[in-house]
Structure formats: C-alpha cells, structure tokens
Amino acid sequence: MRIIGLIASLYTGPESAVSWTKTKIQDFGDLLGELVRSLHVCGKDIEVTESFTYLGSVVHNSRLSDQEVSRWIDLVVRVMNSLDKSIWRCRYLCRRTKLCVFRVQIIPVLLYGSETRILSCALESRLDAFCIRSLRWIMGYYMQNHVSNQWLHCETGTGPITCTIRDRQLRLYGHMAHFP
C-alpha cells in the first residue's frame, strides 16, 4: 500500500493531469498479500484489473502470452482477409510477389512485440500452424496435394515463425546483457 500512497502523493498537486477514470492498477496475485478489488486514492476509487492493453499489447497478470498471441493472430487474419480478393486470389500476380507481400505486410504484424512474449509449446505450435496454413493458402496447396511442411518452407524460403521469434528474443537478451 505504500507504493500506491507514494504514487498518489506524486499526483495530488494542482498541475497534475491524471485521468482518474482511465487509471487502473494491475493485480499480480499475492503481491499485496490480500485480494483487493479497488483502491481509494486521492478521493477516487481505482479499479484493480487482471489485464490491460498498453501500446497495443495485452498485459495479463498470469504473465503468459495466450491472450496476446490470440489477439495478434486475429489481427493478422483480418489483414490477410483484407488482402484476399486483391492479392491472394489475383491470377495475374505470381507466387513470388504474393510471398513478398506476405513477408512485408503479414509477418511484421505477427511479430510485433514478439521479443517480450513468453511462449509455451502450445503457443509455438499454434503460431507455426497458422503460418503454415497461411503459406499453403498463398501458394495454392490443399490437403490433397500432400506437400510437407519442410518442402513448403524450402520452396517459400521461409522457416518456422517460432525460429524467427527465438532469434529476436535472443537478440534482445543479448542487448540487455551488455547493459551495466
């Protein structure tokens, strides 16, 4: 409770521009030692929440990335659907052009903030399956074509998306290790 009191004392001056209706506190389980639903700060009740969206990312108190990955996959599906008639179904564009659009438009949306996500094995397999399904859709392969995932990766020049995420995570942790 001292932390909340300190925060409240910082924002009680006349020049403070805190929007108390937008202010929320995230609950991290037993951090406060008791179950708290709301706090009273500066004459205002502040809601205690389990998750919130910050800079486009969902932060949940479980510290897992299930909601975050689901949210980004939904965003990517919307982007893929918006390009469905104009790019993916266009007969005049070659596969190479469609793959370039996929790499430039779709992959960055999926990888946004991926360096900080904690991925379980289930989330990794879900991300890989989504990318394989998208590549099969772009390349025009169906189940009856019997194309393996390895061959699809070789033909498209891509690798599993989880390998890209691991590379980005290791790069971030390498930069952090150099800090004093």
Q: What was the pLDDT predicted at 112?
A: 85
59 in any annotated domain: no
Q: How many domains does the chain have?
A: 2
Q: How many helices (H) and strands (E) does the chain have?
A: 7, 5
| Residue ranges in the chain modelled with pLDDT below 50 | 1-10, 14
Residue 9, pLDDT score: 43
Inter-residue contact 64 to 86 (CB < 8 Å): no
Q: What is the pTM of this model?
A: 0.68
Map residue 76 onto helix, strand or coil. Answer: helix
Computed from CA positions of residues 153, 155, 156, 158, in that sequence, does the dihedral angle turn out positive or negative?
positive
Write down the pLDDT at residue 7: 47
Instruction: Give the gyration radius of the chain's Cα atoms.
Output: 22
- pLDDT in the model for residue 63: 64
Q: Is 117 left (phi over 0), alpha (psi -120 to 50) or beta?
A: beta
Counting beta carbons within 10 angstroms of the beta carbon of residue 27, is it exposed (0 to 12), middle (13 to 18) or buried (19 or more)? middle
By residue range, what is the domain housing residue 19?
Answer: 2-49
**Domain-located, residue 11:** yes
Tell me, what's the pLDDT at 38? 65
Whether residue 42 sits in one domain with residue 95: no
